[in-house]
């Protein structure tokens, strides 16, 4: 799917749910949030969260975000 397809969220990001779930730091260690390409799109929600060991796997990554003031 093209990165230009879809509705943008409040930060202007499109297609931010799915593709790769993302590591996040929590009070208890690490977790992964969001859905991955192996999860049906209907189940890919930002609120989807589960504990993670931090070990590499084929469906987990991270996203870099930079605030750009024009």
Provide the mean pLDDT of the chain.
Answer: 81
Q: pTM of the entire structure? A: 0.60
30: in domain? yes
Tokens representing 20?
């790769």
Burial of 2 (0-12, 13-18, 19+ CB in 10 A): exposed
Q: Give the model's pLDDT for residue 1.
A: 60
- Helices vs. strands in the chain: H and E counts, helices first: 0, 4
Ramachandran area for residue 25 (φ above 0: left; ψ -120 to 50: alpha; else beta)? beta
Domain containing 56: what range?
A: 1-64
Q: Does residue 70 lie in a domain region? A: no
pLDDT, residue 34, reads 82
pLDDT, one tens digit per residue, over 9-19 is: 887 877 766 67
Q: How many domains does the chain have?
A: 1
Is 18 inside any structural domain? yes
Residue 69 belongs to a domain: no
Is the pLDDT at 53 greater than 80? The verdict is yes
């Amino acid at each position: 799917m093209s990165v230009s397809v879809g509705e943008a969220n409040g930060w202007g990001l499109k297609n931010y749910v799915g593709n790769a779930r993302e590591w996040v730091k929590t009070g208890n260690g690490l977790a992964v949030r969001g859905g991955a390409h192996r999860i049906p799109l209907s189940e890919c929600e930002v609120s989807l969260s589960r504990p993670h060991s931090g070990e590499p796997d084929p469906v987990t990554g991270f996203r870099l975000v930079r605030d750009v003031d024009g």
